[in-house]
Amino acid sequence: MATFLPGAFGAKTAPAPAEQFAPALQAHHDCADRCVSEGIAVSVADGAKKAVDTLQRCGVVQLLGAYDLSELDQFQKAFDQLKSREKAYKKLLDTKQLHDGRYQVYLPFTKPFSSRKTLGVSDLVLEVLRSYFLASGGSFGIDHVTVLTSSSGSANQSLHPDVHYFKGLSVSVHTALQDVPASMGPTFFCPCTGESLTREDWPPSAAIKMTILKRKDCLAAQFAPSFTARGTVTIYDGAMFHKGLENGSGRDRPVLKLEVAAEEFAERRNYIQLASAAAKKQVRRFREAMGPPYFGESRRQDL
């Protein structure tokens, strides 16, 4: 890549001098240091503004107590029922797309899964998504929803973004279905990464991305929560670098994984191309019900 890029801009183009990126690199370090030292957890009482600020700054935020635990019990009951219907469950199972011991099951568009709150999108989470997607035009809707399991013994993943494009196009909303201690291998993040949508910030953010890909490691401070309580909702931008850590706990780590995309990005990305016909059918139904411009909701007047 290093030899290809200068050629792409013409044979005589000189590479950008390293000092040109020095202030942006310092800003990246400062940003990651702050996210790690202050943490990325926001309580429901702190409100949407703090959550949006953390998501915009760090690329990730954890909302504590954002999912009502009695509703989560209902979710778990319905999911256990789905698992017991072996034939239906198998049709929705995807063992191809995820790596290193992880697999996922697409949820059917049936009650209670067909309610946005059941998917982890409380009014607070909806407000956070609305504010976050404003930077990329304001329109957003569901891409797909699964339960992702990092099974016991799952290996460390390599660092990756979920989408190889700009920030603000795809967001993951992960609800912990069980308490996740460090031994279960939580998701690890390189805060403040992902290519910037703004013209001035794009060159250094792309340079940081290339450097991380080459090093296979964060360039600045890194973050993995030491404990994530059941019902915690973690929201992160799909363009940021992250990886699932090794699950050496002896128990599976299931997460309700909802991906939300800007405008028609879900169609363009086509994440579901490897999914079964049954899974694709359910995803279409979710997209019809919770698609752009506002996750299938008419916007409240007071927002």
Part of the chain binding ligand AKG (CB under 6 A), chosen from 63-71, 97-105, 134-142, 212-220: 97-105
Alpha-carbon distance of 221 to 191, in angstroms, equals: 7
Looking at the Cβ atoms of 91 and 160, the one nearer to ligand AKG is: 160
Rg (CA), the chain: 19
Looking at the Cβ atoms of 273 and 298, the one nearer to ligand AKG is: 273
The tokens for 5 are 């890029």
Quick one: which H or E segment has residue 6?
Answer: helix 4-8
Alpha-carbon distance of 123 to 216, in angstroms, equals: 37
Name the amino acid, one letter, at 234.
T
Residues in the interface with ligand AKG (CB under 6 A) total 8
Binding of residue 244 to ligand AKG (CB under 6 A): yes
- Shortest approach of ligand AKG to residue 30 CB, angstroms? 26
Q: In this chain, which of 118, 122, 146, 150 binds ligand AKG, going by CB under 6 A?
A: 150
Looking at the Cβ atoms of 116 and 257, the one nearer to ligand AKG is: 257
Alpha-carbon distance of 297 to 66, in angstroms, equals: 19
Binding of residue 60 to ligand AKG (CB under 6 A): no
> By rule CB under 6 A, what string of x and - marks binding of each residue 103-142 to ligand AKG?
----------------------------------------
CA proximity to 222, closest of 196, 200, 195, 241: 241
CA proximity to 263, closest of 127, 165, 138: 138
- Shortest approach of ligand AKG to residue 35 CB, angstroms? 18
- Shortest approach of ligand AKG to residue 254 CB, angstroms? 10
CA proximity to 55, closest of 70, 69, 41, 67: 41
Site residues (vs ligand AKG, CB under 6 A): 98-99, 102, 150, 162, 187, 242, 244
